Amino acid sequence: MKIVVLDGYTENPGDISWAVLEALGELTVYDRTAYEESDLIAERIGDAEVVVTNKTPVSRATMDKCPKIRTIAVLATGYNVVDYEYAKTKGISVQNVPVYGTDNVSQYAVSLLLEVCSHIGHHSDTVFAGRWAENQDWCYWDYPMIELSGKTAGIIGLGRIGKNTAKILKAMNMQVLAFDSFQSEEGKNIAEYVELDELLAKSDVIFLHCPLFPSTANIINKDNIAKMKDGVILINNSRGQLVVEQDLADALNCGKIAAAALDVVSTEPIKKENPLLGAKNCIITPHISWATKDARIRIMNTTAENIKSVIDGAPINVVNM
């Protein structure tokens, strides 16, 4: 069986092994393939039966040019880079990795919040620049230090990651509100389910942990921002398209939103003209919440299990059948 990895570098920049995929067939790994639709994608797939992709799109045109494809294995939970409905009509399974980074993504979300509240990186930089050694007082701070205990956190999307984040916030003595279309008993034990408007009005900090659906796209927009508390903090390490970025930039610049910490933006890599790059009190990191070595090993192993299940005739983690 021929297996082609279209964009393997972010999954494995050299610190883990492709051995579990090599054991399943003839493996070809490309570090990168252009994200734009092109003949190169189909050329690289060729007569492979298994296509492994992270962010390189696999369109209907590509599938039509590569009739031997049996399955498309996505090195992630999200699979919108694949025309999965069209794949279904051609009998091509699309497989994802549903669970691999719950702990580290929620850890990162809370880390973003703590950076907003304490500006640890900034103050460390000032110390190494010599400022503390020359300071006439025994301490200093350049930003207001924010205490989280007793404050209210609102989580939009109380799935696996949202629940895990809620547990951490509860341990920090925060009240946790949640908005989710699907409520569970587990969720009720760690958060209070409320309607979106109530969450927006009452939360001191808002976390986005929801998938990108038509109902959630652009959920952070000027109308919903107007319903928020003045001085709210926004954390997003879910999907960039949940946010209308110009509206968020405007809210940051006028102080309606005190700070935002983001690990995702609408177009990645970020465009130089993204309005958030010029916004006040905005932290942006390059979509790395998921990228611990432990998590990437889990992705690799699950992808191998996905491909093996196709070989065995009983595909698992299929999102389009």
pLDDT in tens, 160-189: 999 999 999 999 999 999 999 999 999 999
**Which pLDDT score is estimated for 38?**
76
Give yes or no: 209 in active site.
no
Q: pLDDT per residue over 21-33, tens digit each?
A: 999 999 999 999 9
- Per the residue annotation, which of 11, 239, 245, 296 is the catalytic one? 239
Amino acid at 200: L
192/258 Cα distance (integer angstroms): 24
**Which pLDDT score is estimated for 237?**
98
Superfamily of domain 102-284: NAD(P)-binding Rossmann-like Domain (3.40.50.720)
**Which pLDDT score is estimated for 34?**
87
> Residue 166, SS3?
helix
**Which pLDDT score is estimated for 254?**
98
- Per the residue annotation, which of 119, 209, 287, 296 is the catalytic one? 287
- The β-bridge relationship of strands 257-262 and 26-29 is unpaired
- Whether the CA torsion 163, 230, 217, 110 is positive or negative: it is negative
| Domain extent listing, the chain | 2-100+293-311, 102-284
- Per the residue annotation, which of 268, 296, 298, 305 is the catalytic one? 268
**Which pLDDT score is estimated for 30?**
98
- Give the HSE-up count for residue 225: Cα atoms under 13 Å, Cβ half-sphere: 25
316/94 Cα distance (integer angstroms): 10
Q: pLDDT per residue over 60-106, tens digit each?
A: 999 999 999 999 999 999 898 999 999 999 999 999 999 999 999 99
Segments of the chain with pLDDT less than 70: 37
- Measure the CA angle with vertex 211, ends 205 and 217; round to 5°: 80
**Which pLDDT score is estimated for 54?**
96
**Beta-carbon contacts of residue 20 (< 8 Å; ≥ 6 apart):** 300, 301, 304
Contact 272, 298 (CB under 8 A): no
**Which pLDDT score is estimated for 190?**
97
Domain 2-100+293-311 falls under CATH 3.40.50.720: yes
pTM of the model: 0.93
Amino acid at 266: S
